[in-house]
Structure 1
Amino acid sequence: MGCVDLFNLTSTNIYRPVLTRTSNKPYITRGPSMAAIRAESVATEKLGIFIEKNPPESKLTQLGVRSWPKWGCPPSKFPWTYDAKETCFLLEGKVKVYPDGSDEGVEIEAGDFVIFPKGMSCTWDVSVAVDKHYQFE
């Protein structure tokens, strides 16, 4: 299933539950519930940065994310270059990352699983203090 804009759902939207009746059985609901749509993991790549929103806990457990080192910082703005690929999971915070050479930023926030490629130079603009688990490869 693709990305769903929860703010623009309409009565004609295909994700609206459909009531059906089979023989003498009661009506049943078909289609995903709103909770299922909201909880769905959505992965995107933008400007070379991979972001997965709401990754399943099973993925975090399989990767051992909660045992990775932690790093944090207060609201600030600073340049950064990745000497190695970094995989991280934001526990708290909100950041806009501007890859060098781009006026466009990539927003990441608490609950995001993010991969920054080796060699990327960028500027971090931290608007809400960050706390994250991270791993370099």
Structure 2
Amino acid sequence: MQNTSPREDLVLVSSRKTLEAADLADFAQSRSLGEVIVESDTDRARVLLSERHFSFAFIGLPDTEDRGTLLTALSAERTHIVLLDDSGVAAGSPSLRVVSRPFTDIDLEGAISGGITAVDVQDPQ
């Protein structure tokens, strides 16, 4: 039987915005976060998160995506997820940091080091 222990050096970058994905991949490589896998399709990125262990995942939240469904699907146990959001109103958690667009390398540094606190969003109803 093949050993399928998780690799600690994989980074997932998923964004439908080509330049954003390239910037995120460059950021991950420049910080030596691990081998970068870029996947522009959000559904495929969810499958990859469920099939493999990533130490980090940078996910660009599409404007048209159902936020609740996506955030539930991204609840990976051991993956530190940085979610890039246009409005910055998605709820964060200890393993899910939300960074508003436009973002800088300093914003991403804070997110991977835990310097950005989780965002609590109250339901307006």
Provide the TM-score with structure 1 as the length reference.
Answer: 0.23
Larger strand share, 1 or 2 = 1
Larger helix share, 1 or 2 = 2
**Greater RCO, 1 or 2 (C-alpha within 8 Å, sep 6+):** 1
